Amino acid sequence: MAAVNGLIRTDAPGVHVLDDALERTVVAVRQLVDTMAAKEGFHPLSVPPVIARSILEKTGYAEAFPQLLGSVFGLEERGTGKLVPTDVVVLPAACYHVYPALSGATLTGPARYVAHGTCYRHESTLEQGRLRSFRMSELVFVGAAEETIAWRERWLHRTEQLFRDLGLEVVVEVASDPFFGPGQRWLRATQREQQLKFELIAPVGEGMRQAIASCNYHKDHFGEKFEITTAGQAAHTSCVGFGLERVAMALTHAHGPDRKRWPDAVRALVQASDD
């Protein structure tokens, strides 16, 4: 099994098996995120790589990112041999399993989950680091507006500092994913103005920069859709998502493939099982 930069190719571009070193780094990064999250009371959840289509329609994702969505089709039951849409799609972001699980909840304080899953996005350009199938660990904070904004703000800085501590040349950029769905495409501009989405961008390979994490504030979008309330109002949500393969590739690019030769301070943070 020949690997290039830790990635072992399969017959599908952008879908990889990882070599041992990169895989261990991915697992160590997930552990690091999980530990940071646990210290603040985030409840870990492993989420499946498929999700009900109805959820992505309800949230507007299906309309906002139709080109990225993978719909699962299955054989028609009537035995015609025809493939028809099933009720599931491939999961585009780990947090989409969290909001529906809180449907109808009345919160008496913030809810905190860290969701670990494998995501799929039907990317058409497949330069290095733009994987179609990739693992994501995502912290989700659900609460009142003010505390939710404050949490995102704090974790934006915390995440940036973490990456600097890991020796990565990270920059923070305001982004404008239209995650509120179209018919609301004008929101893309205001989203940028309102700074709802920040991406943390770092080199993941030679001449190649990618977002390795993003920090998002969704206002009461998900709270309204799933009738999650706090103090009589629709809850607000923020999330911080880590692209595990990308963080691992950024670390490998910065410090080399042999983790034993990484700076001690970095190794102390990203503690793999064979260290």
Residues within the interface to its own copies (CB under 8 A) = 1, 8, 10-13, 15-18, 20, 23, 26, 43-55, 66-67, 69-75, 77, 81, 83, 85-88, 90, 97, 100-102, 118, 120, 122, 124, 132-133
- Least Å from the CB of residue 111 to its own copies: 10
**Least distance CB 153 / its own copies (angstroms):** 27
Q: Which is nearer to its own copies, 79 or 207 (CB)?
A: 79
Question: What torsion do the CA atoms of 45, 47, 51, 54 make, to the nearest 10 degrees?
Answer: 0
The number of beta carbons lying within 10 Å of the beta carbon of residue 192 is 14
Beta carbon nearer to its own copies, 23 or 153: 23
Q: Please, what is the minimum distance in Å from the beta carbon of residue 158 to its own copies?
A: 24
Distance CA(182)–CA(171), nearest Å, equals 29
Minimum CB distance to its own copies smaller for 77 or for 264: 77
**Is residue 29 within 8 Å of residue 248, measured between CB atoms?**
yes
d(CA 195, CA 188): 10
Of 54 and 194, the one with the shorter C-beta distance to its own copies is 54
Q: Which is nearer to its own copies, 66 or 263 (CB)?
A: 66
Q: How far is the CB of 81 from its own copies (least distance, A)?
A: 8
Amino acid found at 49? P
**Cβ(134)–Cβ(27) below 8 Å:** no
* Smallest gap from residue 133 Cβ to its own copies (A): 4
In this structure, what token pair is assigned to residue 115? Answer: 């969701």
* Sheet of 3-4, strands arranged across: 3-4, 7-9, 16-18
